[in-house]
Amino acid sequence: MNLLLKNGRIVDRDKDFKGDILIGNGLIQEVGEDIQAEGVEVYDLDGKIIMPSFVELHAHFRDPGFPQKETIETGARAALRGGYTYVNLMGNTKPNASSQEVMDYVNGKLRASGIDGNQSITITKDFDGKTLSHLDEIQGIKVITDDGYGVTSSLTMYEAMSKAKEKDILLMVHAEDMEMTPISYRLSENLETIRDLYLAKETGVRLHLSHVSTKEAISYIREAKKTNPNITCEVAPHHIYLYDNPYRVNPPIRTREDTEEVIRGIVDGTVDAIATDHAPHTAEDKAKGSPGMSGIETAFSVSYTALVKSGKISMNRLSELLSYNPAKVMGINKGLIEKGMDGDFAVVDVSEEFKVDVNKFESKGKNSPFDGMTLSGTVKATVKAGRVYSF
């Protein structure tokens, strides 16, 4: 679809100016001021901010196996509602994403859903903590992760990293020493973070640390990145905005000191990306203690309110965290507003406040600690390959 976006404030990692964007064949054809084109649909942005669409590194769409929690279709609608056009999905489906069949099934449904994405494969087969043979049997793996579980065996993790390095696969870690969790969630995350950073240096793997939440883990990553360029990390919106809050997520919502250090890591460049860990549950499962929240529809608003409105970072840096860096981690053609990049955008209004109402979520999961809170910054439309989804 050919589309001309007019009169927007164009913001990405590098730029911030008033202008227009021409999209053709799903790609950006021209970026500039007062662009003229014939035979195209025109969408007037009316001065609103247009950013590269957001790239989600860490989401659970629950398909196959848990359609009562989410499906690819409802997850895709929630993603578009939140300004996202790409999602990287975790492997705790049923059956687990430990086979070619599950990966191909999910990737096929993603292609049909209206958004782009990738199904990650489990590091260990069916999360058993030891078996890696499936990694030699599956073709086309981009990412491996045992998200939801830490890989307790150091030998198994070393072998997984070595295999991922050999195959040029990104390895994402959920840093949790499962044996230590009953004693201390903090100690659990910190110990496995140290180990994984050390093993990554030894093996040369591309290592991405998911949902970093403690002040100590941030400091370990900051130090490790001084000598290892193959390390990236993400933090979740709820670990930026909330502290001393009992809402159940894994890793837990930490203390005020942790939240402040996570934000310092964002400000000083230690943190590469914001990822939602979108984890929808039924009301019944949540009441029974299932950890997680539906976060993909509120991620921009939470991040904008906590970071930009408060004066801690610029819109350019927020775009880098939500778009440019996640796209770079995944190796995809998104994240900047430049000729030749995918014609995918989020149109946002940062002058607007709203009260979060989970009953209005596109996601099946109506679980969020932000329900009833007032946030700033709304996603007014998402553009995917030249198609406009307005909200």
Could you give the residue numbers annotated as active site? 277
CB 7 within 8 A of CB 20: yes
Token pair for 145 = 């992760």
Q: Measure the N-to-C terminal CA separation of the chain; round to a whole number of Å.
A: 20
Report d(CA 263, CA 318) in Å as an integer.
Answer: 12
Of the candidates 130, 207, 193, 127, the residue with the CA atom closest to the CA atom of residue 164: 207
**If 0-12 CB within 10 Å is exposed, 13-18 middle and 19+ buried, where does residue 155 land?**
exposed
CB 165 within 8 A of CB 138: no
Cα torsion through 307, 310, 316, 320, rounded to 10: 0
Of the candidates 175, 173, 88, the residue with the CA atom closest to the CA atom of residue 123: 173
For 256, what's the count of Cα atoms within 13 Å in the CB-facing half-sphere? 0
Report d(CA 23, CA 119) in Å as an integer.
Answer: 28
Of the candidates 88, 17, 87, the residue with the CA atom closest to the CA atom of residue 51: 17
List 219's β-bridge partners, or say none.
Answer: none
Sequence-distant (6+) residues with CB within 8 A of 321 are 266, 271, 272, 273, 274, 303
Report d(CA 64, CA 105) in Å as an integer.
Answer: 8
Report d(CA 316, CA 322) in Å as an integer.
Answer: 10
Q: How far is CA 246 from CA 60, 177, 180, 198, 369, in A?
A: 22, 21, 20, 32, 9
Report d(CA 126, CA 329) in Å as an integer.
Answer: 25
**If 0-12 CB within 10 Å is exposed, 13-18 middle and 19+ buried, where does residue 35 land?**
middle
